[in-house]
Structure 1
Amino acid sequence: MNEDSNSEFHLTPKEIQAIRERFMGGERKKRKIRRLNEKKFVFEWDASEDTSHDINPLYAHKHDALLFGRGMIAGIDVKEQKRQRSKFYDDLLERRRNVEEKDRAGQLLEKQKKKERKAAWDDRHWTEKPLNEMKERDWRIFKEDFNITTKGGNIPNPIRSWKESNLPKNILSIIKEIGYDEPTPIQRQAIPIEIENRDIIGVAETGSGKTASFIIPMLVYISQLPPITEDNMADGPYALILAPTRELVQQIEEEAIKFAKPLGFNCVSLVGGHAVEGQAFNLRNGAEIVMATPGRLKDCLDNRILVLSQCTYVVMDEADRMIDMGFEADVNFILDQLPVSNIKPDTDESENSITNRVNKTLYRQTVMFSATMPPAVERLARKYLRRPAIVNIGNVGQAVDTVEQIVEFINDDNRKRARLIEILNEDYKPPIMVFVNQKKGCDVLYKALDKLGFRVTTLHGGKSQEQREYALLQLKNRVKDILIATDVAGRGIDVKNVSLVINYDMAKNIEDYTHRIGRTGRAGKNGTAITFLSNYDTDVLYDLKQMIMKSSISRLPPELANHEAAQTKPGTIKAKRKFEETIHII
């Protein structure tokens, strides 16, 4: 195409623009993009487009009605609409109410306020309420706070404090003089049951104050009986306390004398290791209370040194230990010597304490305390107790939560002795108790520690009664700091403020272990129990692991947690299978 032809097709700018828009599209205008963080709201509308007729008085009443409907009107404050709506309905209800309806509404309102005030009152803790305002819910919380559980009919409420216990004033004054500020959990529940002349089975941890829980009701019981005189002293005591070991009997005697002596009652103990003639001499003027070991008491009964013709109150302390030591036949023989004239009938009426007080009936009362409840003890209870109330404190057969349990695996005897000396040189305050399994080991360890300058004494079955009493006296009077003992001292021995118990040899069963470590952490105080374990202790590792896991202040070491013997209980099918597999491999 030449220049002339171009001139023929000359296009104007508008035509070029039209062609470009036709075939290539027009230029795109840049659209304004609003920023996301731009919070300014653009409300672009013309006031002339407003369709509202609020300014028109003809439509004002319609919009007023809408204010009190279910919806809300845009452009008007929501709070203001709600306020107007509430005012509208209040005015409407006010016009419809008459005087009678107003009074009725006021009564309902006052009733609701009274109910709310009562609910707020009942929500107070039992410590903030007087005794007469305690409800069933409060007593349930009280028992939960002290870990008390009970079984049996007509269980009385526990004691909140000594002042509210309804005990005689002379006994309350003795309690105050001795220094018992607050009752322990077993005392809170056991004392009111026993005062109502009920048979009772108390299952409590070691160191829980069981002695006073049966001594105090016993003295209340004896106070209602005629005094011991020349006319009736030959008929024997009014009350009998049985305990498995000499040390426990003498300990109970010390505690009983604190209460009985101010009341003018005589206490006599009968234990082996002392001459029978001397104990018979102590009975010459009669005694209201006799405490004895089953073996020595049976000998006294056989030789007619003592009779039980008027004994109507019996306590069996540490009943499980008496059975374990083979005293079941002796205990049965002794209990069969008791008079049968006042045995409680097996009826519901006999459990009613109110009826008993009106009729002034004092039935024979049997009290049994134990840290565990094996089948043999249950058999004894079924035979001699009448509809007993059962009181459990804490977890049966478990150590108290105030004892921190520490275990260490040491197989070498030299390392074990070195570790013992290292612990004794730490900041544990005396007295300290060290437990071994054999009398020989007890004496060997005594010589080793004595050479190093430790103030140490021993207690085991090879000692005479005088030597055993002297050893305990030295520890209690702080003449000696450390007691090395066998399981003879594992039960019932109460030495105040024992800070540390060391199981130099692990006990053969978990029950003995429980009683051993129960020598510390008593009366609510904290204590520590350190146990040395070896490859010879596999039979008790499972039970030991379970006990430590249940303790809130003890830590389960990995060595015990992962030990093969601690995974299954000895005697189970799984444990037997593992043993058989091991034998087969060998």
Structure 2
Amino acid sequence: MSTFDTLGLKPDLMTALKDAGLKTPTPIQTKAIPLALQGQDVLGLAQTGTGKTLAFGLPLVSHLLDAPERPAARTAKSLILAPTRELVNQIADNLRMLTSKTKLRVTTVVGGQSINKQIHQLLKGTDILVATPGRLIDLMDRKAVDLRTVKHLVLDEADQMLDMGFIHALRRIAPKLGTPRQTMLFSATMPKPMEELSRAYLTNPAKVQVSPPGKAADKITQSVHHLAGKAEKAAKLREILSADPDALTLVFARTKHGAEKLMKGLVADGFNAASIHGNKSQGQRDRAIKAFRDGEITVLVATDVAARGIDIPGVAYVINHDLPEVPDSYVHRIGRTARAGREGEAIAFCAPDEADLLRQIEKLMKIEIPVASGTAPKDPVARKPQQRGQGRGKGQGRPAGNAAAKPNGNRRRRNRSRKAA
């Protein structure tokens, strides 16, 4: 088994990893870091929860330590683009852990926060700029940031950026960056548009893949409940939550209104719940995630705004109250559990009008999700129900609760998903 000592990292980085209690790299880190340290462009494919942030963060910081000159005002030496505010903050937290013993500066810019404050922060220049594409373009339009000095570009969760329509923003941003530069693109899935993206922005990239695209983490136990409609969903959700009330559970809804209504109903029924979605301010979202991380709340109801922005190892269950319209999103949702080598459980509810969405998900993942209860509509032979506790240790299963392949290219459907978040 390899260790970080064998990857050729600098002493400052080894100290930061030791202080964080990190000794053994994940497979994506083992494969990607040496290539990125050599300056190669990297195309990294790995499921969520496998340590992609450090896979690009460690070599990026290493390169910046080799170029110690301070950045000029309003400039950045490296740029990381991510699709959501939560993911930007998560990446920045990891990078600040790595740079805590150095003079490197990490700056974030996201929507939902004061742009004037961000303009002021950029006046000093920064070594690492972590941004959502939309807010970065706002700052570019105001001439608050000069990207010509960027020599390292990272596109994280690039497939979601495509789903959310950020390709147009990327086409505006990329020509403003410095050349030559190193580009690293990381993703959990590899739809055809991703291949086109990699050809456009990467030069002879080294491809690193540690699991088939669309595959969930091995330690996730999956199941599906076939239900008649919304009323049955509500009852089943409360039944599952009541069976293990202290476990951290992430519940996904399709729309902002639906998430808020679902959360309020759970609170009214005595559950310790909060919600995050696109109608919440950044402060509200940050506070809800912190409370969830700290165990102050045990149920977090979210739209896909949280599918890739929550890195909380303690999430025991992910419940898909509503199946996503984009199959890839299912993989990212359930990737919020079983993180950092832990076990987790993913439970899906499927109403009759969601049967086709379930089929698309199963086609993408090349599996048949075990049935916990009910029968699939128009399915002549009901699949065998999953046994309670299947895939989990004794006493860890929940009563009743244990028991995309081509991506959706429909622009209208992608737009609906983006609006829902």
Give me the TM-score of the superposition, normalised by structure 1: 0.63
SS in 1 for 2:99: helix
What code does the residue aligned with 2:303 have? T
Measure, in 1, the Cα distance between the counterparts of 2:360 and 2:380: 13
Q: Verify: 1:442 aligned to 2:247, yes or no.
A: no
SS in 2 for 1:238: strand
What code does the residue aligned with 1:400 have? A
Unaligned runs of 5+ residues in structure 2 are 384-404, 408-421
Q: Verify: 1:201 aligned to 2:43, yes or no.
A: yes
User: Superposition pairs for residues 553-568 of structure 1, below 5 Å?
Assistant: 555=370, 559-560=375-376, 563=379
SS in 1 for 2:22: coil
Q: In the alignment, what sits opposite 2:391?
A: none
Q: Verify: 1:337 aligned to 2:176, yes or no.
A: yes
SS in 2 for 1:530: strand
Measure, in 2, the Cα distance between the counterparts of 1:497 and 1:428: 14
CA contact (8 A) 1:545 1:561 kept: no
Measure, in 1, the Cα distance between the counterparts of 2:205 and 2:406: 34
SS in 2 for 1:484: strand
Q: In the alignment, what sits opposite 2:340?
A: 523
- Tell me: CA distance 1:393–1:429, structure 2 relative to 1, closer, same or farther (3 Å): farther
The structural deviation recorded for 1:555 is 3.5
The structural deviation recorded for 1:462 is 1.2
CA contact (8 A) 2:222 2:370 kept: yes
Q: In the alignment, what sits opposite 2:244?
A: 427
What code does the residue aligned with 1:256 have? L
What code does the residue aligned with 1:479 have? E
Q: Verify: 1:242 aligned to 2:81, yes or no.
A: yes
The structural deviation recorded for 1:415 is 2.4
User: Superposition pairs for residues 275-294 of structure 1, below 5 Å?
Assistant: 275-294=114-133
Measure, in 1, the Cα distance between the counterparts of 2:8 and 2:73: 33
Output one character per residue of 1:220-266: Cα deviation in whole Å (capped at 9) or x when no partner. Answer: 100111321xxx51261111000011111111111111111211211
Measure, in 2, the Cα distance between the counterparts of 1:412 and 1:333: 44
CA contact (8 A) 1:312 1:338 kept: yes
Q: In the alignment, what sits opposite 1:219?
A: 61
The structural deviation recorded for 1:505 is 1.2
Measure, in 2, the Cα distance between the counterparts of 1:547 and 1:428: 32
Q: In the alignment, what sits opposite 1:463?
A: 280
- Tell me: CA distance 1:174–1:536, structure 2 relative to 1, closer, same or farther (3 Å): same
- Tell me: CA distance 1:225–1:555, structure 2 relative to 1, closer, same or farther (3 Å): same
Output one character per residue of 1:331-356: Cα deviation in whole Å (capped at 9) or x when no partner. Answer: 1211100123xx2xxxxxxxxxxxxx
1:453 to 270, 285, 303: 270
CA contact (8 A) 1:542 1:566 kept: no
CA contact (8 A) 1:539 1:570 kept: no
**How much is the aligned-residue C-alpha RMSD, in angstroms?**
2.4
CA contact (8 A) 1:433 1:498 kept: yes
Measure, in 1, the Cα distance between the counterparts of 2:65 and 2:362: 48
What code does the residue aligned with 2:379 have? H
Q: In the alignment, what sits opposite 2:300?
A: 483
Give the number of the structure whose residues are more often strand, by fraction: 2
Q: In the alignment, what sits opposite 1:178?
A: 20
CA contact (8 A) 1:301 1:307 kept: yes
Q: In the alignment, what sits opposite 2:330?
A: 513
Q: In the alignment, what sits opposite 2:388?
A: none
- Tell me: CA distance 1:315–1:527, structure 2 relative to 1, closer, same or farther (3 Å): same
- Tell me: CA distance 1:464–1:386, structure 2 relative to 1, closer, same or farther (3 Å): same
The structural deviation recorded for 1:305 is 0.3
CA contact (8 A) 1:266 1:288 kept: yes
Output one character per residue of 1:21-68: Cα deviation in whole Å (capped at 9) or x when no partner. Answer: xxxxxxxxxxxxxxxxxxxxxxxxxxxxxxxxxxxxxxxxxxxxxxxx
Output one character per residue of 1:467-521: Cα deviation in whole Å (capped at 9) or x when no partner. Answer: 1112111111221111011111112321221000111112223211111111101
CA contact (8 A) 2:352 2:377 kept: no
Percent identity over the alignment is 37
The structural deviation recorded for 1:547 is 6.2
Measure, in 1, the Cα distance between the counterparts of 2:193 and 2:375: 36
1:403 to 195, 203, 220: 220
CA contact (8 A) 1:460 1:486 kept: yes
Measure, in 2, the Cα distance between the counterparts of 1:186 and 1:428: 34
Measure, in 1, the Cα distance between the counterparts of 2:185 and 2:345: 29
Measure, in 1, the Cα distance between the counterparts of 2:130 and 2:255: 29
Which one scores higher on RCO, CA 8 angstroms, separation ≥ 6? 2
SS in 2 for 1:505: coil
What code does the residue aligned with 1:394 have? S
CA contact (8 A) 2:191 2:406 kept: no
SS in 1 for 2:165: coil
Q: Verify: 1:274 aligned to 2:91, yes or no.
A: no
CA contact (8 A) 1:548 1:556 kept: no
Measure, in 1, the Cα distance between the counterparts of 2:376 and 2:59: 44
Q: In the alignment, what sits opposite 1:83?
A: none
Measure, in 2, the Cα distance between the counterparts of 1:327 and 1:564: 42
Give the number of the structure whose residues are more often helix, by fraction: 1
Measure, in 1, the Cα distance between the counterparts of 2:294 and 2:267: 19
What code does the residue aligned with 1:423 have? I
Q: Verify: 1:307 aligned to 2:124, yes or no.
A: no
- Tell me: CA distance 1:546–1:187, structure 2 relative to 1, closer, same or farther (3 Å): same
CA contact (8 A) 1:270 1:291 kept: yes
Unaligned runs of 5+ residues in structure 1 are 1-126, 128-159, 344-363, 572-586
- Tell me: CA distance 1:560–1:274, structure 2 relative to 1, closer, same or farther (3 Å): same
Measure, in 2, the Cα distance between the counterparts of 1:468 and 1:438: 16
SS in 2 for 1:492: coil
SS in 1 for 2:57: helix
Q: In the alignment, what sits opposite 1:324?
A: 163
Q: Verify: 1:494 aligned to 2:311, yes or no.
A: yes
CA contact (8 A) 1:204 1:392 kept: yes
2:201 to 375, 384, 393: 384
Measure, in 1, the Cα distance between the counterparts of 2:269 and 2:41: 52
Q: Verify: 1:192 aligned to 2:34, yes or no.
A: yes
- Tell me: CA distance 1:440–1:541, structure 2 relative to 1, closer, same or farther (3 Å): same
Measure, in 1, the Cα distance between the counterparts of 2:377 and 2:257: 32
Q: In the alignment, what sits opposite 1:367?
A: 184
The structural deviation recorded for 1:565 is 12
CA contact (8 A) 1:539 1:565 kept: no
The structural deviation recorded for 1:405 is 0.5
Measure, in 1, the Cα distance between the counterparts of 2:262 and 2:74: 49
